[in-house]
């Protein structure tokens, strides 16, 4: 991951100006509903179309924006891509300059007499569908002229509750041997290994980082050194998905044991992952759905961390900051955001010399870092950002 972060630093997008992707900067959002991104056999045995709602910042002309894909909650039985657990986040992400997508995925517990197996199968279906959604954006970028204006190297996957289960398992299961033996991978809709058959084959499904809101993973030990970063939020009084290690229950019936966000945090610490974990003391399940205070806290945790993944030069922000209050200080050429144009900024420009794709040091906007940009920076040298 250190190599990836360094590459992103050298060819970071020019929009990483200290405000974009960290604060709300657009007032309006454009939404395209019901975008089909794939299909697969569902728990009922019938083929199901998979769709997403795509959120864009209205009036934005940037064509290489990071994508955040969110999956809703609902215990794999209910919920949709217009759920209140994901839509406000998608709207705010778009207002911050991202392309955001709320995805549907295959629902259903097909055997009430074997809830553990049915739940495990539902998680795998969700993983396959989420990976197809990631591939969809890369496919449209490569084959359809990039209609969503995305950067295919900066795709983030996340979710709430069941959607967070999907994101965590999609990111951290990298061996078929980690898929529980009780799942029959020969069943229709469950084949295709870890990638599945939900669509857009031939494109990678790897992601830049993970957003985990009140989720869990089957075994935190699946998280390994070098895996992608993760930001997590979880309430200590969550009665649906355990904060620590414990059972998930449905209608009072214990279904299976999982590792909640606390063990995920501990494991991330052990293997040296870039991560952030925000504990909501005394809070229940997905508290951001019903509380403005918890929504603001969740939003700040998620946006602060994710902005640093898509713009690695951004400094770490406090646990809470006001997403709606962007800084007023800033100036062209201050690439390291320290408040003035210095030798450090000059060195960054030189390190990007002749960079010709989405380069942070392209001051004159001609698409390449050249002598013209160097001369422009020299003219700004020593300038304080006021």
Identical topology for domains 1-12+327-386 and 19-310: no
Q: What is the pLDDT of residue 12?
A: 45
Question: What is the topology classification, in CATH, of domain 1-12+327-386?
Answer: Type 1 dockerin domain (1.10.1330)
Pick the CATH number of 19-310 from 3.10.180.10, 3.40.1190.10, 3.20.20.70, 3.40.50.1820: 3.40.50.1820
* Domain map (residue ranges) of the chain: 1-12+327-386, 19-310
Q: What is the pLDDT of residue 13?
A: 44
Q: What is the pLDDT of residue 383?
A: 66
Q: What is the pLDDT of residues 184-242, one digit of tens each?
A: 899 999 999 999 999 999 999 999 999 999 999 999 999 999 999 999 999 999 999 99
Alpha helices in 144-220 (DSSP H): 162-172
Cβ–Cβ < 8 Å for 280, 238: no
Q: What is the pLDDT of residue 9?
A: 40
Closest CA to 246 of 233, 230, 262, 231: 262
Q: Which residues of the chain have pLDDT under 70?
A: 1-14, 328-331, 337, 357-358, 360, 365, 383, 385-386
Beta strands at 275-280 and 47-57: parallel, antiparallel or unpaired: unpaired
Q: What is the pLDDT of residue 330?
A: 58
Find tokens 């100036």 and name the residue: 331
Question: How far from 252 is each of 76, 255, 285, CA to CA, in Å?
Answer: 16, 9, 16
Q: What is the pLDDT of residue 4?
A: 43
Closest CA to 322 of 286, 288, 295: 295
Strand partners, 65: 150
Cβ–Cβ < 8 Å for 263, 168: no
Q: What is the pLDDT of residue 3?
A: 43
Instruction: Give dist(CA 70, CA 102) in Å, integer.
Output: 5
DSSP of 247-284 = EEEETTEEEEEEEEHHHHHHHHHHHT--EEEEEETT--
pTM: 0.84
Closest CA to 258 of 328, 206, 193, 180: 180
Question: How far from 141 is each of 17, 280, 288, CA to CA, in Å?
Answer: 24, 38, 33
CA 191: distance to chain centroid?
Answer: 25
Q: 188-214 as b/e, with b when 16 or more CB fall inside 10 Å?
A: ebbebebbbbbbbeebebebbbbbbbb
Instruction: Give dist(CA 178, CA 171) in Å, integer.
Output: 12
């Amino acid at each position: 991951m250190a190599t990836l972060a360094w590459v992103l630093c050298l060819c970071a997008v020019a929009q990483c100006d200290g405000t974009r992707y960290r604060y709300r900067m657009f007032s309006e959002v454009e939404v395209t509903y019901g975008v089909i991104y794939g299909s697969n056999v569902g728990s009922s045995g019938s083929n199901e179309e998979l769709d997403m709602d795509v959120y864009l910042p209205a009036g934005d002309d940037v064509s290489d924006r990071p994508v955040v894909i969110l999956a809703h909650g609902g215990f794999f039985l209910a919920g949709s891509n217009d759920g209140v657990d994901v839509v406000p986040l998608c709207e705010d992400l778009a207002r911050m300059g991202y392309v955001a997508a709320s995805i549907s995925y295959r629902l259903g517990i097909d055997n009430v007499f074997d809830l553990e197996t049915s739940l495990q199968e539902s998680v795998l279906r969700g993983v396959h569908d989420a990976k197809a959604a990631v591939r969809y954006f890369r496919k449209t970028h490569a084959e359809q002229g990039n209609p969503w204006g995305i950067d295919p190297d900066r795709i983030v996957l996340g979710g709430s509750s069941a959607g967070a289960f999907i994101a965590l398992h999609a990111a951290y299961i990298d061996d078929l041997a980690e898929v529980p033996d009780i799942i029959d991978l020969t069943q229709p809709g469950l084949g295709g290994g870890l990638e599945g058959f939900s669509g857009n084959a031939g494109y990678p499904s790897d992601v830049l980082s993970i957003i985990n809101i009140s989720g869990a993973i089957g075994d935190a030990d699946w998280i390994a050194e070098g895996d992608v970063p993760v930001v997590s939020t979880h309430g200590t009084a969550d009665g649906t998905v355990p904060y620590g290690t414990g059972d998930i229950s449905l209608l009072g019936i214990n279904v299976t044991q999982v590792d909640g966000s606390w063990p995920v945090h501990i494991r991330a610490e052990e293997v040296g992952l870039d991560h952030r974990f925000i504990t909501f003391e005394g809070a229940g399940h997905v508290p951001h759905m019903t509380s403005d205070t918890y929504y603001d806290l969740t939003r700040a945790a998620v946006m602060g961390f994710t902005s640093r993944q898509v713009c690695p030069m951004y400094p770490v922000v406090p646990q809470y900051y006001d997403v709606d209050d962007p800084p007023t200080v800033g100036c062209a050429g201050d690439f390291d955001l320290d408040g003035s144009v210095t030798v450090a900024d000059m060195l960054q420009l030189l390190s990007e010399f002749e960079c010709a794709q989405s380069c942070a040091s392209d001051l004159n906007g001609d698409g390449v870092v050249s002598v013209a940009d160097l001369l422009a920076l020299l003219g700004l040298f020593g300038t304080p950002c006021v």
